[in-house]
Structure 1
Amino acid sequence: MTVKPTLVIEDFTALGQISMVAATTILQAMGKSTALLPTAVLSTQTEGFGQPVAIDTQHWLPQAINQWDHAGLVLDSALIGYLGNPALAHSIARLLDHYHPPIRVVDPVMADEGKLYPGLSSKLPSALEELCRRATVITPNWTELCLLAGKQPQRFKVGLLSDLIAQLRVAGISAAVVVTGIVRGEQVSCCLCSKAGYRWFDSPRCPGHFYGSGDAFAALLCGYLAQGCPLEGAVEKASQALAVAVEETQLLNNQGRRYGMKMQKLLAYLSREDENCENAANY
C-alpha cells in the first residue's frame, strides 16, 4: 500500500495544543500520516501570552519540498491554516498547484469578532482569496467570510449568507464553504454552503472563548474527508467530534484555555470510532 500523507501547512506553536500540534495529533489519531511544513516556529500562540519568540522557516521550506520531490512524495490531502503574511499565502497557492492533492482544506485564519488579528496586514484577505481559489473546502468564521467577500465585517445575519457566498463565487472561489462558530441562541453552529444549498450543524453553546477550536475543526474535517466521508457527513462528524473537545475544555478557566483544546476525550472518541469502523468492515 502506498503511503499518501496529509500535507499540513500552518505555524508550529511549541506551548500547548494549538495549530500544527493540534492538527497533527488529530490526523494521526485518525490514521493519517502527515507531511508537515511549519510556516513559523512560535514559542507560544499569538494571544494570551504576549509577543511570542518566532523562528522564520522561509529558507527551510523550499529545501524540504525539494527533498520530498526527489523522494517521490504523493499527497492525498492538504490542510492549510494560519499563515500570517501575504507573500507566504502566494507561495502556498503555488505549492498546491505543484502537488494538487484531491482534498484541499483551507482555513483562512486571519480575523475574529469583527477585526483582523493583531499585527496582520490589511493585504492578507486578498492573498488568502487567491489561496482559497485552490481549495476544495474552506472553513472561515463569520468575520473571515466577510473579509474574503470584500466586505467590512458586520454582525451575523442569516440573510447575508447568500450575498457573501455569491461574492466568493464572483471572486473565483468555487470551494464548498463551511462557516464556523456561528452563535445562534443556545447553540453554536457551522453552516455548510454548497451547490446543494445550506445545511446547519448545531452543538450546545459553552460560554467563553476556546483557543484552537478552529484548528481542531479543520483538522477533523480534513481527516474525515481523507477517510472517504462525503462532504456533508464529514462536516457533521467533525462538528460532533469537536463538541467532545469543547465539553472537556470548558472545565478550564480562561488562563488554562490559552493552551488550546483539551484532547484526551477527543482522542478516545476517535479511537472508539475507528474500532467501530474496523468491526463493521470485518463483520
Structure 2
Amino acid sequence: MKKVAVVQDLSSFGKCSLTAAIPVLSVMGVQACPLPTAVLSAQTDYPSFFYEDLTEKMPNYFEEWGKYKATFDGIYTGFVTGRAQIDAIFDLLAQFKTSHTKLLVDPIMGDQGEAYKLYKGDMLSRMRALVEQADIITPNITECCLLTNQSYEKLSRYKHEADFIQALQEQAQILQNKTKAQVIITGIIPPANQAYIGNLFVDDTTTYFNKKLYNGKNYSGTGDLFASVIMGSILRGESIQEGMLLAEHFLTQAITTTAQYHTPEIEGVHFEQHLSLLL
C-alpha cells in the first residue's frame, strides 16, 4: 500500500486538515501517515479554541521514522504555524523525499485578497521556496498572487468571465514556470456569474478549467478534502484532470447533503456518507 506523510494540524471540530485527509486517503487505498503540526480543540474560525503548537516535536518523528527506514510515495503539507515549521518541512524533505515521492503543497496563506498576518517578509519567502520543491500546488487566487507577487486587485477588476479566466491563467502560468509544478487554482468564482465555482489546472502543456453550481457557502475543510482527493488520485495513477473531476463530484454531493441539514459552515461538510464515491 502506498504511503503519504500528511503534515497538517489536528482539529477536533471543523472537519479539516488531518480529520479530512485521513479518511479520504484511506478510502482511496492510500495509507495516511499523519505528522501533526498542532492540536486544536476546534479549527481557528471557532470563537474560542485550545491550541498547542507541535513544531518542536516534529524532529522526533523524523528520527523515529529514520530508524526503521520509512519511505513515502507522497508528502502532503497544509497550514503551517511559522518559519520554524517550514524549516522542519525542509528537513523532512531532505530526509524522506526521493525522485519517486510526490510532494503536494497546499499553501494556506490568505483569502479574498488578504494575506494572513503570518505571511509577510521572511515567512512569505520561505513558502515561496517550499512551493518550488512541489510537484503539485493547490493555491486559491489570493495565494497564487502572493506566490507570484502579482496583483489581486487587478484580477478583481475584470467584469467578464472569459477575460478573468484568461488573466488568471496567465497568473497560474507564471507560478508554473517558476516552480515547474502542476498548479491547480481552487475556489474560483467568476465575476459575472457568482452562481458557479470552479478550479483551473495549468501545467507546461495543458490548461483546464471546470466549474460547478455554487450555493454561496464557504464550508470549513473543503479545500483540504479537495487536495486530499488530488493526492489520492495521483498515487492511484490517475491524471490531474481525473482527480479534479472526482474531487468536484465528491464535494458537490457532500455540500448538497450538508445544505439539506442546514449545517453551519464552520462545522464543515457531511462528506463521510459520500466516501464510497472515491473507491
Match of 2:104? 105
Match of 2:10 among 9, 12, 16: 12
Structure 1 residue 116 displacement after superposition: 2.0
In structure 2, the gaps of 5 or more residues are: 159-163
- Of residues 261-270 and 37-46 in structure 1, the stretch that sits farther from structure 2 once superposed is 261-270
8 A contact 2:14–2:221 mirrored in 1: no
Letter in 1 for 2:139: P
Match of 1:90 among 68, 87, 90: 87
Q: Does 1:122 align with 2:120?
A: yes
Structure 1 residue 140 displacement after superposition: 0.4
Instruction: For residue 245 of structure 2, give the secondary structure of its aligned residue in structure 1.
Output: helix
Query: How far, CA to CA, are the matches of 1:30 and 1:169 in structure 2?
Result: 27
Instruction: For residue 35 of structure 2, give the secondary structure of its aligned residue in structure 1.
Output: strand
Query: How far, CA to CA, are the matches of 1:93 and 1:209 in structure 2?
Result: 31
Letter in 1 for 2:146: L
Structure 1 residue 174 displacement after superposition: 1.1
Match of 1:69? 66
Q: Does 1:269 align with 2:274?
A: no
**Counterpart mapping for 1:106-185 below 5 A:** 106-117=105-116, 119-123=117-121, 124-154=123-153, 155=156, 157-169=164-176, 172-184=178-190, 185=193
Q: Does 1:229 align with 2:242?
A: no
Structure 1 residue 161 displacement after superposition: 2.4
8 A contact 1:201–1:239 mirrored in 2: no
Give the TM-score normalised by structure 1.
0.87
Give the TM-score normalised by structure 2.
0.88
Match of 2:36? 38
Instruction: For residue 258 of structure 1, give the secondary structure of its aligned residue in structure 2.
Output: helix
Query: How far, CA to CA, are the matches of 1:257 and 1:4 in structure 2?
Result: 33
Structure 1 residue 121 displacement after superposition: 3.5
Match of 1:53? 50
Query: How far, CA to CA, are the matches of 2:174 and 2:204 in structure 1?
Result: 15
Residues 163 and 268 of structure 1, relative CA distance in 2, 3 Å threshold: closer
Query: How far, CA to CA, are the matches of 1:200 and 1:93 in structure 2?
Result: 32
Instruction: For residue 223 of structure 2, give the secondary structure of its aligned residue in structure 1.
Output: helix
Structure 1 residue 5 displacement after superposition: 1.2
Match of 2:268? 260
8 A contact 2:182–2:201 mirrored in 1: yes
Query: How far, CA to CA, are the matches of 1:203 and 1:163 in structure 2?
Result: 22
8 A contact 2:4–2:73 mirrored in 1: yes
Query: How far, CA to CA, are the matches of 2:90 and 2:60 in structure 1?
Result: 17
Query: How far, CA to CA, are the matches of 1:169 and 1:18 in structure 2?
Result: 27
Pairwise CA RMSD of aligned residues?
1.9
Match of 2:161? none
Alignment: residue pair count: 265
Instruction: For residue 7 of structure 1, give the secondary structure of its aligned residue in structure 2.
Output: strand
Match of 2:223 among 210, 214, 223: 214
Query: How far, CA to CA, are the matches of 2:75 and 2:202 in structure 1?
Result: 20
Instruction: For residue 199 of structure 2, give the secondary structure of its aligned residue in structure 1.
Output: strand
Instruction: For residue 246 of structure 1, give the secondary structure of its aligned residue in structure 2.
Output: helix
Query: How far, CA to CA, are the matches of 1:203 and 1:86 in structure 2?
Result: 36
Letter in 2 for 1:40: A
Letter in 2 for 1:147: L
What percent of counterpart residues are identical?
26
Instruction: For residue 5 of structure 1, give the secondary structure of its aligned residue in structure 2.
Output: strand
